[in-house]
Structure 1
Amino acid sequence: MAFEQYENEDDRIQDKLKQKTWNEIRTNDSWAIFKVMSEFVNGYETMARIGPCVSIFGSARTKPDNKYYLLAEKIAYKISKAGYGVITGGGPGIMEAGNKGAHLGGGTSVGLNIELPFEQHFNPYIDKDKNLNFDYFFVRKVMFVKYSQGFVVMPGGFGTLDELFEAITLIQTKKIGKFPIILVGKEFWSGLIDWIKTTMIEKEHNASPDDMNLIKIVDTEDEVVEELDRFYKKYNLSPNF
């Protein structure tokens, strides 16, 4: 899906609202399903050979000297040393830190990149045969969920929140197993967690208090590994790598 070029945002909106001819629909919309299918097939075949890993989510904008970048690198290093493979979004920022830590730890380092008009590019710490590129966000998210044995969520923006709430929703609705969701950085996440508890759950009753048990908030790399190990010992499982 190549990015459409527009002079300004108004042109983009006008184009999306324009009534399309049947030929345009068949050419531009209906046939896109084959591109979607090819991404699913390539993703499934590649990831099935790699096996499940732990996903690390976080902002692409985080700089290498940021404390959360350095922490993500330490977390991925310790995860890889504990035997877990690492999946990231394959780009810069926290994603780069995650792949770098896994690479330095001698572990499996996977990148699920997305083609964007800005920000995103492959980082150099992904294993060369474990570097996938996607045009569609929803296909990429399926790969994250299907092949993740746990989710480590670093500070990030809207994309990170999207990935976080996707994982929570799928676990809450029992569409996937109850894998650990670990938020890193109590200072960063405390405001959101307080809002969820006081407004969404206690005031509006839009979620169950038990749903908060799906989330663990930590501050250190050791706590992350402890949470993952606790989960695996509880279910008598072991890391894939």
Structure 2
Amino acid sequence: MSEAPRPHHPDNPDEELLNADLGEVVVELSDEERLDRIRAELSRAFTALRDVRRGITVFGSARLGPGTPEYERTVELGRRLAADAGATVVTGGGPGLMEAANRGAQDGGGRTVGLLIDLPFETHGNPYLDLAIEFHYFFTRKVAFVRYSGAFVATPGGFGTMDELFEVLCLVQTQKIRRYPVVLWGTAYWGGLVEWLRERMLADGLISDGDERLFRVTDDVDEIVAICRAAADVREAGGPGDLHGAMGEDWPPGLWRR
């Protein structure tokens, strides 16, 4: 006869919410209490971020630290976004390339924001944050990323970066959001994924013609800065604006024009 599983106290609020129906998980909150906590988390974020202007989000790995080429070039990206695009640089607030983008933005005289997630292996934000907000839930954090950013730059990263990137692309594809350029920085890193999207997803009819152009892949920092500056201008002005021109004539028309 097998032993009954030992009771397990959830390690974090996401686990408590998503695994509450597993027998071995100790239920600590009612659904009503969970909903109150989710509402409070969103309310706190909306209040803290309501004055953020010209937000540009940079996604990237927590594992590529100082001394790596990716870190050093992301510092320069953050600096250019702040100095040349007037951007508030928003990241996940952690180490690695998130730290690099925030560090560069402070060097460039810009404001920095970190949207931190409660994880057992990332216990604190990086030291280059002007504003840090802690989230218990991944989905509330994603709402904040999208609501307070006008463009997204994906630097090399792992599952977390892929999750954030495809969340944004799905929102753009389904027209849940408008006027949001997405840039993948680094053709050597992203090239294989982009080729697969075109040769498998598009060729098999699993995405529509044009979906493979909802993002721009580039190694050119000047191009990234120009796109992000145009996006910030449009967002600050409330639209419409020349985002189509900034992204190029091959950018899908219609979705961002009123």
With normalisation by structure 2, the TM-score equals: 0.79
1:96 aligns with 2:96: no
- CA deviation string 1:41-66 (max 9, x = no partner): 01011111223400000011112111
User: Partner amino acid for 2:110?
Assistant: G
User: Partner amino acid for 1:179?
Assistant: Y
Within 2, Cα distance between the matches of 1:224 and 1:28? 46
Counterparts of residues 72-111 of structure 1 (less than 5 Å): 72-82=74-84, 83-111=86-114
In percent, how many aligned pairs have the same letter? 38
Secondary structure (helix, strand or coil) at the match of 2:210 reads: helix
Q: Which residue is equivalent to 1:67?
A: 69
Q: Which residue is equivalent to 2:157?
A: 156
Deviates more, 1:94-103 or 1:117-126: 117-126
Assess, with a 3 A threshold, how the Cα gap between structure 1 residues 20 and 215 changes in structure 2: closer, same or farther. closer
Secondary structure (helix, strand or coil) at the match of 2:41 reads: helix
- CA deviation string 1:156-215 (max 9, x = no partner): 00010011001111111111113110100100000100000000111x211012012211
Q: Which residue is equivalent to 1:145?
A: 146
Within 2, Cα distance between the matches of 1:111 and 1:171? 23
2:169 and 2:214 in contact (8 A); partners too:
yes
- CA deviation string 1:25-46 (max 9, x = no partner): 8x34431111111110010111
1:200 aligns with 2:201: yes
1:150 and 1:180 in contact (8 A); partners too:
yes
User: Partner amino acid for 1:37?
Assistant: R
1:86 and 1:110 in contact (8 A); partners too:
yes
With normalisation by structure 1, the TM-score equals: 0.85
2:150 and 2:179 in contact (8 A); partners too:
no
1:226 aligns with 2:235: no
Within 1, Cα distance between the matches of 2:170 and 2:135? 23
Q: Which is helix-richer, 1 or 2?
A: 1
1:15 Cα deviation from its structure 2 partner: 8.0
Unaligned runs of at least 5 residues, structure 2: 1-8, 13-18, 235-239, 244-258
Unaligned runs of at least 5 residues, structure 1: 7-13
User: Partner amino acid for 1:18?
Assistant: G
Considering Cα pairs closer than 8 Å and 6+ residues apart, tell me whether 1 or 2 has the greater RCO.
1
Secondary structure (helix, strand or coil) at the match of 1:34 reads: helix
Secondary structure (helix, strand or coil) at the match of 2:62 reads: coil
User: Partner amino acid for 2:141?
Assistant: R
Within 2, Cα distance between the matches of 1:229 and 1:191? 28
Assess, with a 3 A threshold, how the Cα gap between structure 1 residues 179 and 32 changes in structure 2: closer, same or farther. same
1:60 and 1:120 in contact (8 A); partners too:
no
1:71 and 1:220 in contact (8 A); partners too:
no
* Count of aligned pairs: 223
1:226 Cα deviation from its structure 2 partner: 2.3
1:69 Cα deviation from its structure 2 partner: 1.0
1:33 aligns with 2:35: yes
2:62 and 2:96 in contact (8 A); partners too:
yes
1:91 and 1:123 in contact (8 A); partners too:
yes
Assess, with a 3 A threshold, how the Cα gap between structure 1 residues 5 and 226 changes in structure 2: closer, same or farther. closer
Q: Which residue is equivalent to 1:47?
A: 49
Q: Which residue is equivalent to 2:176?
A: 175
1:236 Cα deviation from its structure 2 partner: 5.4
Within 1, Cα distance between the matches of 2:157 and 2:123? 14
1:84 Cα deviation from its structure 2 partner: 1.1
Within 1, Cα distance between the matches of 2:123 and 2:24? 32
* RMSD (CA atoms): 2.5
Within 2, Cα distance between the matches of 1:116 and 1:207? 33
Within 1, Cα distance between the matches of 2:60 and 2:123? 13
1:213 aligns with 2:216: no
User: Partner amino acid for 1:4?
Assistant: P
Secondary structure (helix, strand or coil) at the match of 1:110 reads: strand
